[in-house]
Amino acid sequence: MKEAKPGKLNVHQQHENGHFSPFKFAKLLDPEASWDKDQLGDILHWIRQVVALFCGLLWGAIPVAGGIWIFIFLAISTGIIYGYYAMILKIDEEEFGGHAALLQEGLFASITVFLLAWILVYSLAHF
């Protein structure tokens, strides 16, 4: 049986212009921490962007070529996001709108970041 962790809304954590309120880095790895929907969405967004940038730079540096590597990136990126919220944070996804809502956070922006990094490194380093 899945261990559900209540994703209670934390009313004491205020958003000012969309920025996080100060929180310890340890919270990012703490399965007991409670998450605000916006905070969790932001974290997942930025993780996607970092993974996209890393993959783009790596794919471009090696280099790898072919459309298949776009799908490989999507699989890796999605796997990391899913692993993070399901296994590390142990989030009950129903409290946050389901898997689709969590997995689509920052998806499109991350695809463009990945393509941009990949194309730039590939073009500049290998021609």
3-state secondary structure 57-89: HHHHHCCCCCCHHHHHHHHHHHHHHHHHHHHHC
| Contact call for residue 3 and another protein (CB under 8 A) | no
- Rule CB under 8 A: choose which of 10, 34, 78, 104 binds another protein: 104
* Helices and strands, counts by H and E, the chain: 4, 0
Residues 114, 74: Cα–Cα separation, whole Å: 10
Site track for another protein across 50-89, x = CB under 8 A: ---------xx--xxxxx-xx-------------------
Residues 44, 81: Cα–Cα separation, whole Å: 7
- Of 83 and 94, nearer to another protein (C-beta) is 94
Q: Which residues bind another protein (CB under 8 A)?
A: 9, 15-19, 37-38, 41-42, 45-46, 49, 59-60, 63-67, 69-70, 95, 104, 106-109, 112-113, 115-116, 118-120, 122-124, 126-127
